[in-house]
């Protein structure tokens, strides 16, 4: 599995792709280089958290071509992927950063497919920090993580294109790179090996 990282150049992104997770990426490029990079040389590309949508939107057609050729695009949280990937319906929500201070608090994040190989690496605590919004996946897509009201926050779509899209509203690279929220580092410690092994299952 050859993995390309789209790195918009923010300090927290650089911290991830040049630091703890350097070995997972075969190459890193800024969004503008999507236009000239041979994408089909990579099995998957991951767009890091909070990459500005306006820097991705000019490449929507090229990304669709890559997907229809069997490629995989992984779009992390706060990238507004609905603006540059096909078939995405997203509803943002107000983020409560301090929910965990309330006695008996439960953010409502749940593993939707406990038997999925990803969750041999991740526990519920590793996918729980806060919420930015919810997806409405197309029929046939696989929701892996849901939150309040069983609304997906991480899903796999192999029906919209001939390739695969992995969409999430979770933003682990942002928090890992800022050195807080340990759950986000645990998430990446499990998620990236799953990606590198070809996302079997």
62-105 pLDDT, tens per residue?
Answer: 999 999 999 999 999 999 999 999 999 999 988 777 666 677 77
Angle at 86 between CA 72 and CA 12, to 5 degrees: 60
**How does DSSP classify residue 139?**
T
The pLDDT value given to residue 104: 75
The pLDDT value given to residue 148: 87
Q: Give the model confidence (pLDDT) of 122-173 as tens digits.
A: 999 999 988 999 999 999 999 999 998 899 999 999 999 999 999 999 999 9
Total number of residues shown for the chain: 201
On whether the CB atoms of residues 128 and 183 are closer than 8 A, the answer is: yes
CA distances from residue 158 to 13, 63, 71, 185 in whole angstroms, order as listed: 27, 15, 11, 27
Residue 57 inside a domain? The answer is: yes
Residue 201 inside a domain? The answer is: no
H or E stretch covering 164: strand 164-168
The span from the CA of 125 to the CA of 110, in Å, is: 9
pTM value is 0.94
The pLDDT value given to residue 118: 96
The pLDDT value given to residue 68: 98
Residue range of the domain that includes 185: 3-196
Q: Is 20 helix (H, G, I), strand (E, B) or coil?
A: helix
pLDDT over 70 (residue 201): no
The pLDDT value given to residue 101: 63
Residue 20 inside a domain? The answer is: yes
Residue 166 inside a domain? The answer is: yes
Tokens coding 183: 């759950």
Residue 9 inside a domain? The answer is: yes
State CA 117 to chain mean position distance: 16
Residue 89 inside a domain? The answer is: yes
The pLDDT value given to residue 167: 98
Which H, E and C letters describe 13-54, residue by residue? HHHHHHHHCHHHCCEEECHHHHHCCCHHHCCEEEECCCCCHH
Read off the CATH number of the domain in which 98 is found.
Answer: 3.40.50.880
pLDDT over 90 (residue 181): no
Domain count, the chain: 1
The span from the CA of 31 to the CA of 56, in Å, is: 6
pLDDT over 90 (residue 7): yes
Residue 61 inside a domain? The answer is: yes
Beta bridge partners of 164: 72
- Using CB atoms within 10 Å of the CB of residue 112, give its burial: 0 to 12 exposed, 13 to 18 middle, 19+ buried: middle
Residue 109 inside a domain? The answer is: yes
Q: Give the model confidence (pLDDT) of 30-67 as tens digits.
A: 999 999 999 999 999 999 999 999 999 999 999 999 99
CA gyration radius for the chain?
A: 16
For residue 177, name the pLDDT band (cuts at 50, 70, 90). confident
């Amino acid at each position: 599995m050859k993995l390309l990282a789209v790195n918009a150049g923010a300090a927290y992104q650089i911290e991830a792709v040049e630091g703890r997770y350097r070995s997972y990426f075969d190459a890193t490029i800024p969004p503008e280089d999507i236009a000239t990079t041979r994408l089909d040389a990579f099995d998957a590309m991951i767009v890091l958290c909070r990459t500005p949508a306006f820097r991705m939107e000019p490449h929507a057609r090229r990304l669709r071509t890559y997907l229809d050729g069997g490629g995989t695009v992984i779009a992390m949280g706060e990238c507004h992927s609905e603006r540059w990937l096909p078939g995405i319906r997203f509803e943002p929500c107000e983020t409560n950063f301090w929910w965990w201070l309330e006695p008996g608090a439960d953010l409502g994040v749940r593993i939707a497919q406990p038997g999925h190989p990803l969750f041999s690496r991740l526990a519920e605590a590793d996918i729980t920090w806060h919420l930015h919004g919810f997806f409405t996946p197309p029929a046939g897509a696989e929701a892996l993580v849901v939150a309040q009201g069983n609304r997906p926050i991480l899903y796999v779509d192999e029906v919209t294109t001939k390739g695969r899209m992995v969409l999430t509203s979770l933003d682990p690279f942002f928090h890992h790179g800022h050195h807080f929220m340990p759950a986000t580092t645990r998430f990446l410690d499990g998620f990236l090996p799953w990606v590198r092994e070809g996302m079997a299952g």
